[in-house]
Amino acid sequence: MKEKVIVGLSGGVDSAVACYLLQQQGYEVIAVFMRNWDSQLNNDVLGNPSNTNDICPQEIDYNDAKAVADCLGIELKRVDFIKEYWNHVFTYFIEEYARGRTPNPDILCNKHIKFKAFLDYAFSLGASYIATGHYARVIHNENESIMLRAIDNNKDQSYFLCQLNQQQLSKTLFPIGHLTKQEVRQIALDLQLPVANKKDSTGICFIGERDFKEFLKNYIPAKNGHIVDITTNQILGEHQGIMYYTIGQRKGLHIGGPGGARFVVGKNYQQNILYVASGDQNDWLLSDSALIEDINMISGKITNQEFACTAKFRYRQKDHQVKVTFVNATSAMVYFKQPIKAVTPGQACVFYDQDICLGGGTIEKVYKNKQEITYL
């Protein structure tokens, strides 16, 4: 009897090829399209008119998923996780932005939706495993499952999977993690899958192609204020609400003048001031340590209270040499071998031992010369 694998089929090329590869490996494959956001409902709640002639991008993705399932001859189920997404992902996202921090909803979505709600649903169908189109790899040993970076470094998504635990990872397959994006595309083209040439999705799923600031204004009232050069105290322009900007941001400031490019280096919530400084390597952006909280170690245990490894402090950032010193079971001070630019509260710090993803947590505080850098 074949083992059953439930695949999260998103309507994109990666999950489509994942389904095919699992079929080739002899699994019984059932596909599930997850509906995590109700655009029509949220438009109604916000009083935003919607064009009934427009097709929601989510419906386009579902139609693409159905076309792939039909092409591969597999069953496609459609499941709503709208309530779970709102409670565990979107609410946190809004609360963090309201605090002036920069959250990562993809990490929460993986933790609570794709590898919790979806996993529970798959178990109810008698599945042995779930699978997704993530670019990552997993090794299932007798006593432990280990997550590795994808072969394609440019597409590696292990950063977003840092909050998975052993129970979740032990029941997960990543069928395309050993392939490059080009190889995945070629498989889809060879099979003549209807999504072979579909563009990769970008950005946050519930925002889609809409303007990010305009979307947030529906949930967090905007208040314009001054953009100030932190070194000269000169007013350079006006911001649209300091929660819309992140530390290290350069684009979208709409301020000119001499001194080259300017970067966001701080926020004063009480006075509603956004601080900027000139130059990519200015000292205002550099820090040498950080407090990381809500740490999840994928192995499920802390083998050493202090250890050296590498870390990423945002997606696509290069690895940095660090020393991790745990202060309790879920918090640690992380000391950088070299100062790092734009380490930002609210974002994720993810630990690696070469290709092994060890886990990660949330950046809570940032320090320089043992003094906390107050961004907010």
How many Å apart are CA 248 and CA 343, to the nearest integer?
8
Q: Are residues 244 and 271 in the same domain?
A: yes
pLDDT in tens, 350-366: 999 999 999 999 999 99
* Burial per residue of 55-77, b for 16 or more beta-carbon CB atoms within 10 angstroms, e otherwise: eeebeebbebbbbbbebbebebe
Q: Would 202 be classed as within a structural domain?
A: no
Highest-confidence range of 45-59, 64-78, 261-275, by mean pLDDT? 64-78
pLDDT in tens, 288-326: 999 999 999 999 888 789 999 999 999 989 999 999 999
* Sign of the alpha-carbon torsion through 145, 151, 157, 162: positive
Residues carrying an active site annotation: 109, 205
How many Å apart are CA 245 and CA 25, to the nearest integer?
46
Q: What is the mean pLDDT of residues 229-242?
A: 90
CATH of the domain at 98: 3.40.50.620
Q: Which of these ranges, 52-61, 185-194, 290-299, has the smallest mean pLDDT?
A: 52-61
Q: Would 211 be classed as within a structural domain?
A: no
Q: Which residue has the higher pLDDT, 221 or 192?
A: 192
Residues 332 and 295: beta-carbon distance below 8 Å? yes
Domain C-terminal end among 146, 174, 191:
191
* Whether residue 219 has pLDDT greater than 80: yes
Q: Would 215 be classed as within a structural domain?
A: no
Residue 273 lies in domain = 222-278
Instruction: Retrieve residue 350's tokens.
Output: 């993810």
In the block, residue with structure tokens 């949220």: 42
Q: Would 111 be classed as within a structural domain?
A: yes
Instruction: Retrieve residue 62's tokens.
Output: 């579902």
Q: Are residues 364 and 313 in the same domain?
A: yes
Residue 353 β-bridge partners: 356
Q: Would 312 be classed as within a structural domain?
A: yes
Q: Are residues 157 and 230 in the same domain?
A: no
Q: Are residues 234 and 295 in the same domain?
A: no
Residues sharing a CB contact under 8 Å with residue 364, sequence separation 6 or more, in sequence order: 290, 291, 292, 293, 331, 345
3-state secondary structure the chain: CCCEEEEECCCCHHHHHHHHHHHHCCCEEEEEEEECCCHHHHHHHHCCCCCCCCCCHHHHHHHHHHHHHHHHCCEEEEEECHHHHHHHHHHHHHHHHHCCCCCCHHHHHHHHHHHHHHHHHHHHCCCCEEECCCCEEEEECCCCEEEEECCCCCCCCHHHHCCCCHHHHHCEECCCCCCCHHHHHHHHHHHCCCCCCCCCCCCCCCCCCCCHHHHHHCCCCCCCEEEEECCCCCEEEEECCHHHCCCCCCCCCCCCCCCCCEEEEEEECCCCEEEEEECCCCHHHEEEEEEEEEEEECCCCCCCCEEEEEEECCCCCCCEEEEEEECCCCCEEEEEEEEEECCCCCCEEEEEECCEEEEEEEEEEEEECCEECCCC
Q: Is the pTM of this model over 0.85?
A: yes
Residue 53: per-residue pLDDT: 43
Residues 222 and 241: beta-carbon distance below 8 Å? yes
Q: What is the mean pLDDT of residues 159-170?
A: 97
Residues sharing a CB contact under 8 Å with residue 14, sequence separation 6 or more, in sequence order: 133, 134, 135, 176, 184
Q: What is the mean pLDDT of residues 63-88?
A: 96
Q: Are residues 142 and 8 in the same domain?
A: yes
- Considering only CA atoms, give the Rg of the chain: 22
Structural domain total, the chain: 3
Biggest CA-to-CA distance, the chain: 72
Residues 89 and 95: beta-carbon distance below 8 Å? no
Q: Are residues 256 and 113 in the same domain?
A: no
How many Å apart are CA 365 and CA 247, to the nearest integer?
13
Highest-confidence range of 93-107, 161-175, 248-262, 269-283, by mean pLDDT? 161-175
How sure is the predictor about 259, in pLDDT bands with cuts at 50, 70 and 90?
low
Residue 283: per-residue pLDDT: 85
How many Å apart are CA 263 and CA 15, to the nearest integer?
37
Residue 214: per-residue pLDDT: 80
Residue 261: per-residue pLDDT: 82
Q: Are residues 76 and 181 in the same domain?
A: yes
How sure is the predictor about 376, in pLDDT bands with cuts at 50, 70 and 90?
low
Q: Are residues 54 and 172 in the same domain?
A: yes
Q: Would 209 be classed as within a structural domain?
A: no
Residues 32 and 7: beta-carbon distance below 8 Å? yes
Q: Are residues 268 and 184 in the same domain?
A: no
* Whether residue 257 has pLDDT greater than 80: no
Q: Would 167 be classed as within a structural domain?
A: yes
**Mean per-residue pLDDT over the chain, rounded:** 90
Residues 42 and 65: beta-carbon distance below 8 Å? no
